[in-house]
Amino acid sequence: MSVEAMYAEIILDHYREKHHSGLREPYGAQVQHVNPTCGDEVMLRVALSGDRVADVSYEGVGCSISQASTSVMTDLVIGRTVDEALALHEEFTRLMHGRGEIEPDEDRLEDAIAFAGVAKFPARVKCALLGWSAFKDAAALALAADAAESMKESR
């Protein structure tokens, strides 16, 4: 696969116009993830409403792959239940580590299938995963915070 093909139109569109970008209130948890090898950074917030992802907001610096991947991720997870979102995280991660041999499920991954080609460029896989990993961590923290809150309330 050529680099030109890896840089699918969808990726460049999301790089030019990042969805849900910027940091917003309210949020349940905030994390900062860094890719120390290349310096890409993302600060990401997750707001839950019950078991649903109410919002994901973020600010980041990095390459088109990491930026676009984060943008696509927000489109996918906002509005879903946390469980559904984490299942998507897992599916996307598996795709990225598949060395290009896994066929992505377009119905589930939607725009994220554009990153299928990245799996063939091992050096860039971390870029595509940066935002997703940050989301996973932040969601876990937000869930834990909610749980602590409701324990307090129920006492």
Partner 1 sequence: MSYDVELIRSDFPILSRRVGDYPLAYLDSANTSQKPQVVIDAMVDHYERHNANVARAMHMLGAEASAAYDAGREKVAGFIGANRTEEVVFTKNASEALNLAAHSLGATLKPGDEVVISVMEHHSNIVPWQLLCARTGATLRWFDITDEGRLDLAKAAAEQLINSNTRIVSLTWVSNVLGTVNPIAEIAAQAHAVGAVMVVDGSQAVPQLTTSVTGLGADLVAFTGHKMVGPTGIGALWGRYDLLAELPPFLGGGEMIEIVKMGGSTFAPPPYRFEAGTPPIAQAVGLGAAADYLGELGMADVAAHEAAITSYALRVLQQLDGLRVLGTTSVGPEGRGGAVSFTLATRDGLDIHPHDVMTFLDSRGVAVRGGHHCARPLHERLGITASTRASFYLYTLEREIDQLVEALNYTRDFFGRAA
Interface residues with partner 1 (CB under 8 A) are 2-4, 6-7, 9, 12-13, 15-16, 34, 36-41, 61-65, 67, 121-124, 127
Taking the complex as a whole, the smallest distance from the CB of residue 48 to partner 1 amounts, in Å, to: 27
Taking the complex as a whole, the smallest distance from the CB of residue 32 to partner 1 amounts, in Å, to: 8
Asked if 67 and 79 touch (Cβ cutoff 8 Å), the reply is no
Q: What angle do CA 39, 40, 42 make, to 5 degrees?
A: 130
Spatial strand order in the sheet of 40-49: 29-35, 40-49, 52-61
Taking the complex as a whole, the smallest distance from the CB of residue 39 to partner 1 amounts, in Å, to: 4
In 11-43, which positions are buried (b, 16+ CB within 10 angstroms) versus exposed (e)? bebbbeebbbbeeeeebbbbbebebeeeebbbb
Taking the complex as a whole, the smallest distance from the CB of residue 33 to partner 1 amounts, in Å, to: 10
Sign of the C-alpha dihedral computed for residues 132, 24, 47 and 151 taken in this order: positive
Taking the complex as a whole, the smallest distance from the CB of residue 40 to partner 1 amounts, in Å, to: 8
Task: Name the residue nearer to partner 1 (CB basis): 55 or 58.
Answer: 58
Task: Name the residue nearer to partner 1 (CB basis): 33 or 89.
Answer: 33
Task: Name the residue nearer to partner 1 (CB basis): 123 or 151.
Answer: 123
Task: Name the residue nearer to partner 1 (CB basis): 85 or 118.
Answer: 118
In the chain, the N- to C-terminal Cα span, in Å, equals 58
Task: Name the residue nearer to partner 1 (CB basis): 40 or 55.
Answer: 40
Residue 46 bridge partners (DSSP)? 29, 56
